[in-house]
Structure 1
């Protein structure tokens, strides 16, 4: 069945990347298909007529959302009325769940098929949202297998499409060559230290991470420490913190970006919880995950989050492979102890790297192609929830 009109709504840069990959596949299958909605430059390059700038939906924080709420309501009303008039074959919301799931529900009630690409963290907290999602979408497209298992359990049609990062990163990488490219000693051990990409993360974690690295260098005199700064502002903040640790500073290579290269070059990684943990897993590197947040935020999180783990490698494996040190447990001494164990246990590191490579292969599924398969199936009225070995064990 040839698709003629597709409505897509992405809300941030990551969504623009996912949407462009999906559109590329759909363009190849359905020549002449038209795309409307919201997207960024990558989606526009694939033929999207974007009705608003991508940044329109990129509002973070409770106060900011409240401030922009009237404008967001007007945008959603405009998109809803345009989509209803245009009558696309399907509307696809890409991430941005607080905006898109409401729009998807309205359009589905108007008789338009809908899909949502990238699951919100409904499996972790506010699980009751799955009932609203079930009413809003004809199908959910997930990046990770445990997410698909959650929707299958709640009888929501779902397709596990794989993770684009897993497609992007190679199954083989060269530690020694990468070290040479970064100007590191190929023979001496390397710690990659990633305290986060946000200012708050540097504020809560920066000093703790540097103190842990200082202790670790005392235990491992040949250790090299490489810190990739996520932006020029993060670079300046980290550089300022390092001035309090002159002995450590001599051992640190501070990079502008190049987080992936830093991880590939390393024997072990210390990082803040988040997507970086998934990327370290896809680089096949042992890691310690540590995180601190405002006391009230932590108090709320402990009561709302329903998962046994916070890091994606552990969630994907459904077991503790990666040490997680959260809030009061994230002391410099505890972090240094965990990292020291990783650095001295070569056999354990190598076994973990092998396990990570296996998990990497399970996520490497050509996500854009499988997402396009799911969209074609939805429009054709075919079932999504078919047998999938990757999610049967969850």
Structure 2
């Protein structure tokens, strides 16, 4: 009997991590199985035959994708032509919806089973994409338990498979080792996460620091920088304030694991903080022009993933004009006064909901689709 062939396309590092977990879980279920397509070093090490450099797909912004459009279209055309001529037993697109959904539509139209991992954020904006997704994939693997509801009434089999971040965070070093690496000893730690984009750091960090200057916080203040350029930028901003936080390169997850509380820019870090049981204030501000358009597209009541998941305002959110140094200082002081007991109780709900052993859940869905 010939081996099962699974076609997979991942377009960036996060997808490579997810893809490797899925490949490894499938190999445990079906030893005689082959994987081909596009992936990074983790997927390749797990057993994928990658035909293109995954980094060629990882384009960001507005201008760069347009410059690379001919190359991306050619790459996608080659993949479609090959798999239509040599049909795989299943195609799995991992995130990268602008690239993968087009492939899925073409293959599904020819009767090839298709699946897509990571639900596009139709629950937050661009709800019209539900129709495109329904046309593209048979199975949709969702990371959050509220996502399948968006596909009720369609032919998509939407499955909640858990979040891989749960298992990733379990592998962090011990608190003792983290404190030694960050040189914080036994001090109480307040973490400031102003984002990874230069514009975010320039806009948000001064507000965070001014808030801390308004009150006497008995903490060792630590700011993680995502790279050396951001480290230099953060240091230059810190130099203009009287308080002197410690700035480190990397280690944001490790920092959240030992921090007593944090100020976190809205994004994935809010979920990391919740899963690491770190009470927080979510803070964000963008240009008034960007906010004018974005707030008209948003469908969610909340900005932070913990509140979106819970459906209630457990974590304080200071967004746009609500984000002032005084408001932030007050929220941080309130957390200290109460011990953030309400947040900690809610974080246990989130962890319980997302801890489903992601790789095994994905494999179960795909094996069922394969008829194994």
TM-score of Structure 1 vs Structure 2, range by shorter chain: over 0.9
Shift in alpha-carbon separation, 1:307–1:132, aligned structure 2, 3 A:
same
In structure 2, the residue matched to 1:135 is: 135
1:12 offset after TM fit, Å?
Answer: 0.1
Number of positions where the alignment pairs a residue of Structure 1 with one of Structure 2: 372
In structure 2, the residue matched to 1:183 is: 183
Q: In the alignment, is residue 366 of structure 1 matched against residue 346 of structure 2?
A: no
**Structure 1 segment 1-394 matched on structure 2, within 5 A:** 4-152=4-152, 154=154, 156-170=156-170, 178-179=178-179, 182-186=182-186, 188-215=187-214, 218-220=215-217, 222-245=218-241, 247-249=242-244, 252-346=245-339, 349-380=340-371
Farther-moved stretch of structure 1 (141-150 vs 131-140): 141-150
Q: TM-score, normalization: structure 1? A: 0.89
Taking the aligned partners of 1:361 and 1:53, their CA distance within structure 2 comes to: 37
Shift in alpha-carbon separation, 1:354–1:173, aligned structure 2, 3 A:
farther
Farther-moved stretch of structure 1 (123-132 vs 192-201): 192-201
Taking the aligned partners of 2:173 and 2:78, their CA distance within structure 1 comes to: 47
Check conservation: 2:284, 2:318, Cα contact below 8 A.
Answer: yes
Shift in alpha-carbon separation, 1:223–1:273, aligned structure 2, 3 A:
same
1:285 offset after TM fit, Å?
Answer: 1.2
Runs of 5+ unmatched residues, structure 2: none
1:60 offset after TM fit, Å?
Answer: 1.2
Taking the aligned partners of 1:356 and 1:25, their CA distance within structure 2 comes to: 28
1:233 offset after TM fit, Å?
Answer: 1.3
- 1:4-43 CA distances to partner (integer Å, 9 max, x unpaired)? 1000000000000000010011122222311111100111
RMSD: 2.1
Runs of 5+ unmatched residues, structure 1: 382-394
Check conservation: 2:189, 2:259, Cα contact below 8 A.
Answer: yes
Shift in alpha-carbon separation, 1:130–1:350, aligned structure 2, 3 A:
same
- 1:157-191 CA distances to partner (integer Å, 9 max, x unpaired)? 111110011122239997677545533252x5321
Check conservation: 1:173, 1:283, Cα contact below 8 A.
Answer: no
Taking the aligned partners of 2:173 and 2:315, their CA distance within structure 1 comes to: 21
Taking the aligned partners of 1:378 and 1:152, their CA distance within structure 2 comes to: 19
Q: TM-score, normalization: structure 2? A: 0.94
